[in-house]
Amino acid sequence: MNYQINFLPEAIDDMKKLDNSIQPQIAKGIRKVSQKPLSTYRGGYGKPLGNKDGTDLSGLYKIKFRGIGIRVVYSVEEHNGIMTVIVVSVRADNQVYQEAEKRRTKHNL
């Protein structure tokens, strides 16, 4: 089952800031994950996030693009079949996760 992909407005801006050569790769990866966005423990592609270093991302998932160092943090609404992309960014310490927590709070996810 493919989940509907929604982007927070800030995540759309994140995508636009990426180098044009990697934007299609990220978009393709997100589409692939939307087929099975749940946890790797449940047969999906997402790695569950938790409460670490003062950021509470419990219930959210991440995917890594190893060759280019990009992280995508997203939420899943199983009952509605919706995957919401919260942040797309270079890992850069824990900045991507701190930003995800801010956006999660702002958008009540």
Segments making up each domain of the chain, as ranges: 4-106
Q: In the CATH hierarchy, which fold is given to the domain comprising 4-106?
A: YaeB-like fold (3.30.2310)
43-48: which pairs have CB atoms within 8 A and are 24 or more residues apart?
46/74, 46/76
Rounded to the nearest angstrom, the gap between the alpha carbon of residue 83 and the centroid of all alpha carbons in its chain is: 9
Helices 23-33, 9-17: inter-axial angle, 10-degree rounding: 140
**Can you give the pLDDT of all 109 residues of the chain as single tens digits?**
799 999 999 999 999 999 999 999 999 999 999 999 999 899 999 999 998 777 889 999 999 998 888 999 999 999 999 999 999 998 777 888 899 999 999 999 8
Please name which of 6, 4, 18 lies closest in space to residue 65, comparing C-alpha atoms.
18
Counting every residue written for the chain, the total comes to 109
